[in-house]
A and B are shown apart, each in its own frame.
Chain A
Amino acid sequence: MKKKLKSMEPADNSAVLSDDPAAQEEADLLRAYEQEIFARSEKHHNGPLLLSARDVVVRFNLRGQELTAIRSTSLDVYEGETLAIVGESGSGKSVFTKTFIGMLDKNGRIDGGELFFHGEDMAKYTTEEQWLKVRGKKIAMVFQDPMTSLNPVRTIGEQIAEVIMWHFGKSHEEAKAETIELLKKVGIHDPEKRYKQYPGEFSGGMRQRVVIATAIACRPEILICDEPTTALDVTVQAQVLDLIKSLQKELKMSVVFITHDLGVVANIADWVAVMYAGKIVEYGTANEIFKSPEHPYTKALLRSLPQLGTKGHDLYSIQGTPPSLFKQITGDAFAPRNTDAMKIDFEEEPPVFPVTDTHWARTWLLSPQAESYRASLLARDAEQQKNAVPETPFDYTNAEKLITVRDLTVRFKMGGSTFKAVNGVSFDIFKGETLSLVGESGSGKTTIGRAIMRIYTGNVGGEVTFKGSKITGKLSRQDKKKLHMEMQMIFQDPMASLNERAKVDYIISEGLYNYHLYESEEDRVAKVENILTEVGLTSEFISRFPHEFSGGQRQRIGIARSLVMNPDFLVADEPISALDVSIRAQVINLLNKMKKERSLTYLFIAHDLSAVRFISDRIAVIHKGHLVELAPCEELFAHPLHPYTKALLSAVPYPDPDSERNKVLIPYDPAMHDYSSDKPVWTEITPGHFIYGNTKELEGYRREAEA
Chain B
Amino acid sequence: MNLPENKLRTLQKSLEKDPALFTPAAFSLAESEKTGASNYSYWKSTLRTFFRSKSVVVLCAVVAAILVMSFLYPLFSSVDPTKVSINPLDWNHRPSLEHPFGTDGLGRDIFARAWYGCRNSFILAFCIALSDVGIGMIMGALWGYNKKLDPIMIEIYNIMTNVPSTVYLVLLAYIMNTSYLTLFISMASRGWIVEARFFRNRILSIRDAEYNIASQCLGTPMRRIATRNIIPHIISLIIMEAALCIPYSIGSEVFLGFVGVGMPVDAITLGNMVNHGRASFTLHPYQMLLPAAVLCIITIAFYFLGNKFADASDPRNHV
Q: Which A residues fall within an 8 A CB radius of B?
A: 25-26, 29-30, 32-33, 36, 61-63, 65, 106-107, 319-328, 335-348, 351, 364, 367, 369-370, 373, 450, 453, 455, 480-481, 484, 487-489, 491-493, 496-502, 506, 510-511, 513-515, 536-538, 545, 547-550, 553, 558, 561-562, 565
Residues of A contacting B22 in the complex (Cβ-Cβ under 8 angstroms): 342-344, 364, 367, 369-370, 373
Whether A323 contacts B35 by the Cβ 8 Å rule is yes
Known: A337-B32, A553-B33; 17 extra A-B contacts, CB below 8 A, are A26-B10, A30-B11, A325-B36, A344-B21, A345-B25, A367-B17, A369-B17, A453-B217, A491-B213, A491-B214, A498-B214, A499-B215, A502-B232, A510-B215, A536-B29, A545-B41, A548-B40
Which of A328, A343, A367, A481 neighbours the largest number of chain B CB atoms within 10 Å of its CB? Answer: A343
Please report the C-alpha to C-alpha distance between residue A340 and residue B24 in the assembled complex, in whole angstroms: 6
Please report the C-alpha to C-alpha distance between residue A561 and residue B217 in the assembled complex, in whole angstroms: 11
Residues of B contacting A500 in the complex (Cβ-Cβ under 8 angstroms): 42, 211, 233
CB distance from B179 to the nearest CB of A (A): 42
* Interface window among B55-63, B69-77, B218-226, B288-296: B218-226
Q: Tell me, yes or no, whether B20 is within 8 Å of chain A by CB.
A: yes
Contact residue among A323, A342, A455 (Cβ-Cβ distance under 8 Å from B217): A455
CB-nearest residue of chain B to A62:
B319
Residues of B contacting A499 in the complex (Cβ-Cβ under 8 angstroms): 211, 215, 228-229, 232
For chain B, residues 227 to 272, give those with C-beta under 8 angstroms from any C-beta of chain A: 228-229, 232-233
Please report the C-alpha to C-alpha distance between residue A223 and residue B14 in the assembled complex, in whole angstroms: 40
Residues of A contacting B34 in the complex (Cβ-Cβ under 8 angstroms): 320-321, 323, 327, 336
6 A-B residue pairs with Cβ-Cβ distance under 8 Å, sorted by A, are A323-B35, A367-B15, A502-B232, A510-B215, A511-B220, A515-B219
Q: Tell me, yes or no, whether B209 is within 8 Å of chain A by CB.
A: yes
CB-nearest residue of chain A to B228:
A502
Whether A506 contacts B228 by the Cβ 8 Å rule is yes
CB distance from A463 to the nearest CB of B (A): 21
Please report the C-alpha to C-alpha distance between residue A681 and residue B232 in the assembled complex, in whole angstroms: 50
Residues of B contacting A558 in the complex (Cβ-Cβ under 8 angstroms): 214
Whether B32 contacts A491 by the Cβ 8 Å rule is no
Whether A63 contacts B220 by the Cβ 8 Å rule is no
* Interface window among B1-9, B151-159, B164-172, B182-190: B1-9
Whether B10 contacts A29 by the Cβ 8 Å rule is yes
CB-nearest residue of chain B to A491:
B210
Residues of B contacting A342 in the complex (Cβ-Cβ under 8 angstroms): 21-25
Q: Tell me, yes or no, whether B19 is within 8 Å of chain A by CB.
A: yes
Q: Tell me, yes or no, whether B30 is within 8 Å of chain A by CB.
A: yes
Q: Tell me, yes or no, whether B86 is within 8 Å of chain A by CB.
A: no
Q: Tell me, yes or no, whether B82 is within 8 Å of chain A by CB.
A: no
Residues of B contacting A455 in the complex (Cβ-Cβ under 8 angstroms): 213, 216-217
Contact residue among B24, B27, B42, B211 (Cβ-Cβ distance under 8 Å from A498): B211
Known: A345-B25, A514-B220. A501 touches B232 (CB 8 A): yes
Whether A373 contacts B42 by the Cβ 8 Å rule is no
Residues of A contacting B228 in the complex (Cβ-Cβ under 8 angstroms): 499, 501-502, 506
Contact residue among A345, A450, A453, A496 (Cβ-Cβ distance under 8 Å from B211): A496
Which of A36, A336, A481, A548 neighbours the largest number of chain B CB atoms within 10 Å of its CB? Answer: A336
Whether B23 contacts A373 by the Cβ 8 Å rule is yes
Please report the C-alpha to C-alpha distance between residue A32 and residue B8 in the assembled complex, in whole angstroms: 11
Q: Tell me, yes or no, whether B28 is within 8 Å of chain A by CB.
A: yes
Whether A511 contacts B36 by the Cβ 8 Å rule is no
Residues of B contacting A26 in the complex (Cβ-Cβ under 8 angstroms): 10-11, 14
Whether A550 contacts B35 by the Cβ 8 Å rule is yes
Whether B219 contacts A480 by the Cβ 8 Å rule is yes
Whether A326 contacts B37 by the Cβ 8 Å rule is yes
Please report the C-alpha to C-alpha distance between residue A497 and residue B208 in the assembled complex, in whole angstroms: 10
Contact residue among A29, A324, A325, A514 (Cβ-Cβ distance under 8 Å from B218): A514
Please report the C-alpha to C-alpha distance between residue A319 and residue B215 in the assembled complex, in whole angstroms: 30
Residues of A contacting B1 in the complex (Cβ-Cβ under 8 angstroms): 36
Please report the C-alpha to C-alpha distance between residue A369 and residue B45 in the assembled complex, in whole angstroms: 49
Residues of A contacting B18 in the complex (Cβ-Cβ under 8 angstroms): 344
Residues of B contacting A339 in the complex (Cβ-Cβ under 8 angstroms): 27
Please report the C-alpha to C-alpha distance between residue A106 and residue B213 in the assembled complex, in whole angstroms: 36
Please report the C-alpha to C-alpha distance between residue A323 and residue B214 in the assembled complex, in whole angstroms: 28
Q: Tell me, yes or no, whether B16 is within 8 Å of chain A by CB.
A: yes
CB distance from A15 to the nearest CB of B (A): 13
Q: Tell me, yes or no, whether B96 is within 8 Å of chain A by CB.
A: no
CB-nearest residue of chain B to A2:
B2
Please report the C-alpha to C-alpha distance between residue A344 and residue B319 in the assembled complex, in whole angstroms: 36
Which of B3, B28, B36 neighbours the largest number of chain A CB atoms within 10 Å of its CB? Answer: B36
Please report the C-alpha to C-alpha distance between residue A450 and residue B140 in the assembled complex, in whole angstroms: 26
Residues of A contacting B162 in the complex (Cβ-Cβ under 8 angstroms): none
Whether A33 contacts B23 by the Cβ 8 Å rule is no
CB-nearest residue of chain A to B235:
A501
Q: Which B residues fall within an 8 A CB radius of A?
A: 1-3, 7, 10-11, 14-25, 27-38, 40-42, 45, 48, 209-211, 213-221, 224, 228-229, 232-233, 318-319
Known: A321-B33, A326-B37, A369-B19. A497 touches B210 (CB 8 A): yes
Residues of B contacting A538 in the complex (Cβ-Cβ under 8 angstroms): 30, 33
CB distance from A667 to the nearest CB of B (A): 34
CB distance from B317 to the nearest CB of A (A): 11
Whether A347 contacts B21 by the Cβ 8 Å rule is yes
Contact residue among A36, A328, A492 (Cβ-Cβ distance under 8 Å from B36): A328
CB-nearest residue of chain A to B209:
A496
CB distance from B75 to the nearest CB of A (A): 40
Residues of B contacting A33 in the complex (Cβ-Cβ under 8 angstroms): 3, 11
* Nearest 3 pairs of A and B residues by beta carbon: A327-B36, A320-B32, A344-B21
Please report the C-alpha to C-alpha distance between residue A515 and residue B220 in the assembled complex, in whole angstroms: 9
Please report the C-alpha to C-alpha distance between residue A25 and residue B11 in the assembled complex, in whole angstroms: 10
Known: A29-B14, A327-B36. A497 touches B214 (CB 8 A): yes
Whether A481 contacts B219 by the Cβ 8 Å rule is yes
Residues of A contacting B37 in the complex (Cβ-Cβ under 8 angstroms): 324, 326, 547-549
Known: A107-B319, A498-B211. A324 touches B40 (CB 8 A): no
CB-nearest residue of chain B to A487:
B217
Please report the C-alpha to C-alpha distance between residue A367 and residue B12 in the assembled complex, in whole angstroms: 10
Whether A510 contacts B218 by the Cβ 8 Å rule is yes
Residues of B contacting A336 in the complex (Cβ-Cβ under 8 angstroms): 28, 31-32, 34
Residues of B contacting A549 in the complex (Cβ-Cβ under 8 angstroms): 35, 37
Known: A320-B29, A346-B25, A348-B17. A36 touches B211 (CB 8 A): no
Known: A33-B11, A324-B36. A343 touches B218 (CB 8 A): no
Please report the C-alpha to C-alpha distance between residue A344 and residue B21 in the assembled complex, in whole angstroms: 5
Known: A321-B35, A336-B31, A351-B15. A484 touches B213 (CB 8 A): no
Known: A319-B32, A326-B37, A547-B40. A29 touches B319 (CB 8 A): no
Whether B35 contacts A322 by the Cβ 8 Å rule is yes
CB-nearest residue of chain A to B214:
A497
Whether B217 contacts A29 by the Cβ 8 Å rule is no
CB distance from A355 to the nearest CB of B (A): 15
Residues of B contacting A561 in the complex (Cβ-Cβ under 8 angstroms): 214, 218
CB distance from A180 to the nearest CB of B (A): 39
CB-nearest residue of chain B to A540:
B30
Please report the C-alpha to C-alpha distance between residue A320 and residue B25 in the assembled complex, in whole angstroms: 16
Contact residue among B7, B17, B19, B27 (Cβ-Cβ distance under 8 Å from A29): B7
Whether B220 contacts A343 by the Cβ 8 Å rule is no
Please report the C-alpha to C-alpha distance between residue A491 and residue B17 in the assembled complex, in whole angstroms: 48
CB distance from A277 to the nearest CB of B (A): 10
Residues of A contacting B2 in the complex (Cβ-Cβ under 8 angstroms): 36
Whether B38 contacts A326 by the Cβ 8 Å rule is yes
Known: A319-B32, A489-B217, A497-B211. A63 touches B45 (CB 8 A): yes
Please report the C-alpha to C-alpha distance between residue A482 and residue B92 in the assembled complex, in whole angstroms: 80
Whether B42 contacts A501 by the Cβ 8 Å rule is yes
Contact residue among A62, A344, A351, A373 (Cβ-Cβ distance under 8 Å from B38): A62
Residues of B contacting A498 in the complex (Cβ-Cβ under 8 angstroms): 211, 214
Residues of B contacting A322 in the complex (Cβ-Cβ under 8 angstroms): 35
Please report the C-alpha to C-alpha distance between residue A324 and residue B38 in the assembled complex, in whole angstroms: 9
Residues of A contacting B32 in the complex (Cβ-Cβ under 8 angstroms): 319-321, 336-337
CB-nearest residue of chain B to A485:
B219
Known: A321-B32, A511-B219. A489 touches B214 (CB 8 A): yes
